Structure 1
């Protein structure tokens, strides 16, 4: 039996910030609770990431009744210097079917 197969991975290719962006692109009206469940982090962690993304201009939020609707700025560029010339749209396009995203 392979003991490493029983352990959760210690690293991942995508950060939690990237995962939140992808999940919001999939469902702009997702609740914090839903995002946390899909990503596998706490609701407080999602709230902090949403605040980071909002402050950096990657997303905006609008209250619609009791829900929050998120809008992404997909033309905003990545923050890390080696990808700084590329828009986050490239990341979203890897994970989101274009027809689904454009109809949202």
Structure 2
């Protein structure tokens, strides 16, 4: 029987970032079960869509999420990603959403 989940890899990547703003791509890849290249592509897509921003702190990237952006599917557009992340991450998740 094939394995499947309710959330996409994009959602899993956002969850990893919400839990740890300084998480490394290799750690995200391992947690989600995808390659580092796929992780990089997803992070780039999320950044291009405005869901996250990459910032440099020393030699590492840290991420800033925008919790107010809507989910992308028409059935879910009346909900923001912050709603999902707050339900699926340990408290307090607001640390992942610092003001710019």
TM-score relative to the length of structure 2: 0.90
Q: Which runs of 4 or more aligned residues in structure 1 lie more than 2 Å from their structure 2 counterparts after TM superposition?
A: none
- Which structure would you say has the larger Rg? 1
The correspondence of residues 62-77 of structure 1 with structure 2, limited to 5 A, is: 62-77=55-70
Structure 2 stretches of 5 or more lacking a match?
none
Higher helix proportion (structure 1 or 2): 1
Structure 1 stretches of 5 or more lacking a match?
none
Alignment RMSD (CA, Å): 1.3
Counterpart in the other structure of 2:51: 58
Q: 1:32 aligns with which of 2, 25, 28?
A: 25
CA distance in structure 1 between the aligned counterparts of 2:77 and 2:64, rounded to whole angstroms: 21
TM-score relative to the length of structure 1: 0.86
Matched length:
96
